[in-house]
Chains A and B, each alone.
Chain A
Amino acid sequence: QKEVEQDPGPLSVPEGAIVSLNCTYSNSAFQYFMWYRQYSRKGPELLMYTYSSGNKEDGRFTAQVDKSSKYISLFIRDSQPSDSATYLCAIEGGGNKLTFGTGTQLKVEL
Chain B
Amino acid sequence: GAVVSQHPSRVICKSGTSVKIECRSLDFQATTMFWYRQFPKQSLMLMATSNEGSKATYEQGVEKDKFLINHASLTLSTLTVTSAHPEDSSFYICSASLSGGQETQYFGPGTRLLVL
Chain A 60-104, CB-CB to B under 8 Å as 1, else 0, gives 000000000000000000000000000010101000111111110
A-B contact count (CB 8 A): 58
Tally of B interface residues using CB under 8 Å: 27
Residues of B with C-beta under 8 A to A16: none
In the complex, the answer to whether B109 meets A98 with C-beta atoms within 8 Å is no
Tell me if B105 and A43 are in contact (CB < 8 A).
Answer: no
Interface residues of B (CB under 8 A from A): 1, 4, 6, 32, 34, 41-46, 49, 91, 93, 95, 97, 100-103, 105-110, 112
How far apart are the CA atoms of A44 and B1 in the complex, in Å? 13
B100 contact set on A, CB distance < 8 A: 96
Overall SS of chain B's interface: strand
Interface assignment of A46: CB less than 8 Å from any CB of chain B: yes
Assign chain A's interface to a size class.
20 to 34
A-B contact pairs, 6 of them (CB 8 A): A8-B41, A43-B108, A43-B109, A46-B105, A100-B44, A102-B41
CB < 8 Å: which of B43, B95, B103 contacts A102?
Answer: B43
